[in-house]
Amino acid sequence: MEQKKDKKIKTAEKETAAIKLPLFTLKDLATPAKINWCPGCGDFGILMGLKNAIVELGIPQHELFLISGIGCSSKTPYWVKLYGYNGLHGRALPFATGLKLANHKLTVIVVGGDGDGYAEGGNHFMHSCRRNINMTYIVFNNQVYGLTTGQVSPTSEKGFRTKATPDPVIEEPIHPIALAIASGATYVARGFAGDMQHLKKLIMDAVSHKGFAFIDVLQPCITFNHLNTFDYFKQRVYKLEDEQFDASNKIKAFEKAQEWGNKIPIGVFYKESKATYEEQVPALQKQVLVKQSLDVKTQMENVMKDFM
């Protein structure tokens, strides 16, 4: 009788151990700051996708760092309880690079708008892709400058006009997916703010990827972009995984990246396994930089000797 009871207790203990409880819940990621995006903005879907992905990934909060530039989308770090930094317009990626070099064990997620990432920060985007720094970059692409009330951005479509930019755009937009592939990013995907579950999975996949992971997210700005709306995208988006797209083929990925119009693909365009930047920096192989002791005196003496 006693033996049977022991066996039952042990089985129950084993079952309890097998259930993987989340380290924290969505509630733990809440901050006291009030969200001031326009009600109905696409940014909300991305925020929920991001928070759900963070909970499901189960990376401890103190090992995660959320970095942004300036813009409506760049306010995201205020509303997710992690280490965070709301930086300068267009300069989120250089800050993230510095942080990764100082402590490459941190999981770094960078967020911001299409103006921030493809205009003011366009140069940094290209070089972060080719360096293959192990971080995730999520661009909230609403094809307009939201925070500054509706100027056109590098992804605004030809013919697009806003109250702030009444003359129609005469330039061709850039193709962020094609640009990222051509620049050497090792994970390139597109999500849609109106499909939170799909976006959550992309974010989890991107954060788990070793190397520079980039997700361009279609994010309707309901206040300043009356062309690329939720309905516009709902009628056009389809999932690459539904057509068994081969994301290991760079040429095919590049070809697919050109598709924009009546049909807009979302999902993973390209994925490749390659050494990261951090793995190739000799000084980082022993220990994270912040934990290495600095013999400042000897180093300064050596620098002075070089100049003498």
Ligand X SMILES: Cc1ncc(C[n+]2csc(CCOP(=O)(O)OP(=O)(O)O)c2C)c(N)n1
Cα–Cα distances in Å, from 291 out to 59, 63, 78, 151?
A: 21, 15, 28, 45
N-term to C-term CA, the chain: 87
Based on the shown chain and the rule CB under 6 A, indicate whether residue 142 belongs to the binding site for ligand SF4.
yes
Among 47, 50, 66, 72, which residue interacts with ligand X (rule: CB under 6 A)?
Answer: 72
C-alpha span between 297 and 137 (Å, rounded): 38
Based on the shown chain and the rule CB under 6 A, indicate whether residue 277 belongs to the binding site for ligand SF4.
no
Rounded least distance, CB 122 to ligand X, Å: 11
User: Is residue 222 helix, strand or coil?
Assistant: coil
In 3D, which of 110, 36, 106 has the Cα closest to residue 77? 110
Cβ nearer to ligand X, comparing 72 with 202: 72
Q: What are the structure tokens assigned to 45, written together?
A: 């879907």
C-alpha span between 303 and 307 (Å, rounded): 7
List the interface residues with ligand SF4, window 70-89 (CB under 6 A): 72
The string of DSSP codes covering 81-126 is -SEEEE--TT-HHHHHHHHHHH-TTSEEEEEEEHIIIIIITHHHHH
Based on the shown chain and the rule CB under 6 A, indicate whether residue 220 belongs to the binding site for ligand X.
no
Among 223, 228, 256, 270, which residue interacts with ligand SF4 (rule: CB under 6 A)?
Answer: 223
Based on the shown chain and the rule CB under 6 A, indicate whether residue 37 belongs to the binding site for ligand SF4.
yes
C-alpha span between 45 and 221 (Å, rounded): 12
Cβ nearer to ligand SF4, comparing 166 with 282: 166
Stretch of 4-12, 35-43, 50-58, 297-305 contacting ligand SF4, by CB under 6 A: 35-43
List the interface residues with ligand X, window 97-126 (CB under 6 A): 112-116, 120
Q: Where are the beta strands (DSSP E) in the chain?
A: 64-68, 83-86, 107-113, 135-141, 187-192, 212-218, 237-239, 264-271
Residue 155 binds what, of ligand X, ligand SF4, none (CB under 5 to 8 Å, by partner type)? none
Whole-angstrom Cα Rg for the chain: 22
List the interface residues with ligand X, window 125-154 (CB under 6 A): 140, 142, 145-148, 153
Binding mask 40-59 for ligand SF4 (x = CB under 6 A): -x-x----------------
Cβ nearer to ligand X, comparing 166 with 282: 166
Residue 212 binds what, of ligand X, ligand SF4, none (CB under 5 to 8 Å, by partner type)? none
Q: Which parts of this chain interact with ligand X (CB under 6 A)?
A: 70-73, 89, 112-116, 120, 140, 142, 145-148, 153
Q: Which parts of this chain interact with ligand SF4 (CB under 6 A)?
A: 37-38, 41, 43, 72, 142, 146, 221-224
